[in-house]
Chains A and B, each alone.
Chain A
């Protein structure tokens, strides 16, 4: 069965520094991978997705993610963090040939001024 793992419950970074939020996946077949962000008392907002093609995917708000097949990873990155990036980040994988998304447990990103 498809799954994703987010090994860090929380990531702390200083404003202006680069940030990385980690995600590893386990799938049979080609992975469809997603990143969503959740701000307090709000639903999930789509950031970016990898379906096929270029391993570096660019998304909303300056975020990007790197697909690494050999390491089965899809880490979220941003060159310069903002305090407003503080939120809960979810990695997800599409299950098989369905539209069903399997979400990780989430990583809380805290950006300090």
Chain B
């Protein structure tokens, strides 16, 4: 069974530029999560989708971050404009509905200069 796929793996941009990350969850997983992991910290949930609907986006900085999951499968996370403090690893995870275990992708490491 293929795992969660993410791209790109690494991205370097300058502040005020925009960037987008892509995630393809495990086949059949209706629930998809985006986490932000700042160096030295545990992951923090940014947004949770169930199918193509948003379940929780309470910690998403909506003035600069946006995410979508239009067909209930792939998802994109965008940052526009980026700030220095957005430098982090962005992790995508997926799970089956009503099953507690989340499975994570390899992450996208973002460096904002």
Binding site for B on A (CB under 8 A): 32, 34, 36, 41-46, 49, 51, 90, 92, 94, 98-101, 103-106
Contacts and interface: CB of A to CB of B under 8 A. Distances in A.
B44 A103 contact: yes
B100 interface: yes
Nearest to A32: B100
Given A43-B107, A46-B101, A99-B55, A92 B42 contact: yes
Contact of B104 (A43, A99, A100): A43
B110 to A, nearest CB: 14
Which secondary structure dominates chain B's binding surface?
A: strand
Interface of B: 4, 6, 31, 33, 40-45, 48, 55-56, 91, 93, 95, 100-107, 109
B56 A100 contact: yes
A90 B41 CA distance: 10
Given A99-B48, A100-B56, A104-B42, A46 B102 contact: yes
B4 A49 contact: no
Contact of A90 (B42, B45, B101): B42
A14 B65 CA distance: 44
